[in-house]
A and B are shown apart, each in its own frame.
Chain A
């Protein structure tokens, strides 16, 4: 029997709040620093984090003051270290983007506006902890001490690239820093990180695994697999959704019908926090709390990092076609670098001159690294890794059929 037609005949399809030509204007954050308690990490149920999952953990106000139970009381040296890494990330990104425009690399993705995420969160961990990133957390490598020349070698696919020109730029691998290889299919790392943490748990080691997923990619099944396994097995994993509002052109309101991503964790019985992702101190503090839970054997923590993707998705993308060109300036969370500078200045530990000097020094370092890296080749001019690298490390040992094809390839190589 055919159903009768209802009055409402249109499919409900959410739209982005602002499109080109609109004036973006966001509501200010509802929570102030100090509004939310800091539960005991060694003894906290998911339901005790309900306010945190629907609210917003903050430490820094917009005058540069830090306050409240989440203030991690970092030393001025630690704050300056975080600032330096963020400045380095931003200048590095700008240099790589310029190189991309000249063809020295095929593609690039900046972390612009989200520099605090990987840097504050990695600083809050122990050096033995595993990092399972997306393409928007390369900053973790600075915290773990990776050489910039080596990072550029990867991006420009030259002979010194440690992944041998096999991956697109920004798909870093850095085993020494326990930074696991970035993969293009979005979301896959989220549930894999739970497995990494389960191995640590199995081996009874004091280590945890941190991972991130985007607001957009949290719509993939991988996100839900991760939460469910983490809920069941309680491994030491820190599961972050970086809600930067945009998945290429798709707004976060198409990723989830629930405006707080953090709250989804409650249904999985995993303690969940929503944190201002442009507040270095709050990010550090929430991650430290999650690390303490992991160390206490309390299992996973789910964190929504609320931020804004100030730049394009990638070098292949022009955001002015789908959002107001100046939308990021209206973001209530401001800019993570500016806010940390403001805080350091407010507490008398930094000045505009020092900031200028820092930027000039880092710019010099990035330029020097760039100049060294291009001496090993780049995508526009070569030399590239040898075409033999197509056949190596496909398996542990080269099977006969690959050997045969390898020999054939050598006859035709365009190297």
Chain B
């Protein structure tokens, strides 16, 4: 099986879907001729034509709006927002239009579109190239929200998103595009030899709504998504505690069965995300875990998150959850 990084896996998913379905088109800022600032659509315009893979004006609101229009008129558009930080001009279109059209039209119109966008920190991008705004979308019903973490799930989830008849916002962890991130900025591994970098060349899906058990253990459940999955993996190893590591993959709808099953087994829960704490998706997870698993819990649920501040530039390693912080939270749950 070929080895791919996330950039190549995304490219492969787009390529397959453009090949398979003439209603699929892909567009975004610098996404056509140049193949995207992260190279995720490299070569696709040449292969599939400028009418199917093209550059747009710099207008995120416009991009989301034309995707909406195309979607309700029978296409299956895939739009790239260059950085998740720049998705906000499109927010009105996504929240008020794309998410609600099926419902408000009594099911007469729907919008099978995918918006994919690189998110998260760790690239010295400062506060406007580092944010992780997933919870600003999980709070809106009518859209599904995906946050990938590996080459394998980046391809399989993107194909599922494109094939879904509902709108899906897919966040990709840009720090992990070319290698997993274990929380040490001086250690820059590639995806080489990583089991999740073995990606089939052909079409396959990772179903929306299913979590991935990234590590299996007995005493604590760590729930995470995006780049923090890998940082959590390092933290679990450092902590010496036997943990389930659940890579949520899809945030809406999240995998209730996987979470409940794991917590009923371990009785402990640590939630890790790099977005700020207040109203982060970790709050939803914590509330749901206590609703569904209260009598199985042996310790308070811990959250390890980014701070409730803008994302910094020079001091970003003091902002992002580190393996040490996560390991400490895991150990804390074991004290009870």
Q: Which residues of A contact B (CB under 8 A)?
A: 10-11, 13, 15-16, 19, 106-107, 157, 161, 165-168, 171, 183-187, 214, 216-217, 219-221, 247-250, 254-256, 316-317, 321-322, 379, 384-387, 389-391, 394, 401-402, 405-406, 409, 412-415
Q: A220-B89, A390-B309 are in contact. List 20 more A-B contacts (CB 8 A).
A: A107-B124, A157-B313, A157-B314, A165-B313, A166-B127, A166-B313, A185-B85, A216-B58, A217-B58, A249-B30, A254-B55, A317-B37, A386-B315, A390-B315, A405-B277, A412-B322, A412-B324, A412-B325, A414-B322, A415-B318
Least CB separation from A391: chain B residue? B309
* B86 CB–A CB distance under 8 Å: yes
B189 surroundings in chain A (CB, below 8 A)? none
A249 contacts B33, CB within 8 Å? yes
CA distance A220 to B308 in the complex (A): 29
The answer, yes or no, to whether B312 is at the interface (CB within 8 Å) is yes
Could you give, for residues 34-71 of chain B, a 1 whenever the CB lies within 8 Å of some chain A CB and a 0 otherwise? 10010000000000001100111111111000000000
What residues on A are CB-neighbors of B34 within 8 Å?
Answer: 248-250, 321-322
Contacts of B324 in A (CB 8 A): 412
Contact between chains at A384 and B314 (CB < 8 Å)? yes
Q: A401-B278, A415-B318 are in contact. Are A409 and B307 (CB under 8 A)?
A: yes
> In the complex, A123 Cα to B61 Cα: how many Å?
36
B125 beta carbon closer than 8 Å to chain A: yes
CB-CB < 8 A to B129: which residues of A?
Answer: 168, 184
Say yes or no: A254 contacts B57, CB within 8 Å. yes
A221 touches B59 (CB 8 A): yes
| Residue contact A389 to B55, C-beta cutoff 8 Å | no
Partner of A106, one of B57, B89, B313, B322: B313
Interface of B is mostly: loop
In the assembled complex, the Cα of A183 lies from the Cα of B310 at a distance in Å of 13
Whether the Cβ atoms of B51 and A13 lie closer than 8 Å is yes
Total number of B residues with any Cβ neighbor in A under 8 Å: 43
Q: A248-B30, A249-B33 are in contact. Are A220 and B58 (CB under 8 A)?
A: yes
Let me know if B29 is at the binding interface, CB within 8 A.
yes
- Does B319 reach chain A (CB closer than 8 Å)? yes
Residues of chain B within 8 A (CB-CB) of A183 are 128
Q: Give the complex CA separation of A255 and B318 in angstroms.
A: 39
B314 touches A250 (CB 8 A): no
Are A385's CB and B85's CB within 8 A? no
Q: Which chain B positions have C-beta within 8 A of A386? A: 315
Query: Are B312 and A219 closer than 8 Å at their CB atoms?
Result: no
Docked complex Cα distance between A217 and B56 (Å): 11
Indicate whether B253 reaches chain A with its CB closer than 8 angstroms: no
Binary per-residue interface labels of chain B (74-101) against chain A in the complex, 1 for a CB within 8 Å, 0 otherwise? 0000000000011011000000000000
Determine the chain A residues whose CB is within 8 A of the CB of B226 once the complex forms.
none
30 A-B interface contacts by CB (under 8 A): A10-B51, A11-B54, A13-B55, A16-B33, A157-B314, A166-B127, A167-B127, A167-B313, A171-B126, A183-B128, A187-B58, A217-B58, A219-B58, A219-B62, A221-B89, A247-B30, A249-B34, A250-B58, A256-B57, A317-B37, A321-B34, A379-B314, A384-B315, A387-B315, A387-B318, A390-B315, A390-B318, A391-B307, A406-B307, A415-B318
- How far does the Cβ of B220 sit from chain A's closest Cβ, in whole Å? 20
Contacts A184-B85, A248-B30 given; does A402 touch B309 at CB 8 Å: yes
> In the complex, which residues of chain A have a beta carbon less than 8 angstroms from the beta carbon of B173?
none
Q: Which residues of B contact A157 (CB under 8 A)?
A: 313-314
A394 CA to B127 CA in the complex, in Å? Answer: 12
User: Across the two chains, which residue of chain A brings its CB closest to B45?
Assistant: A13
- Is the CB of B32 closer than 8 A to any CB of chain A? yes
Q: State how many angstroms separate the Cβ of B26 from the closest Cβ of chain A.
A: 12
In the bound complex, residues from chain B placing their C-beta under 8 Å from that of A389 are 312, 315
Q: Are B309 and A15 in contact (CB under 8 A)?
A: no
User: Measured between alpha carbons, how far is A11 from B77 in the docked complex, in Å?
Assistant: 14
Bound CA span A124–B2, Å: 60
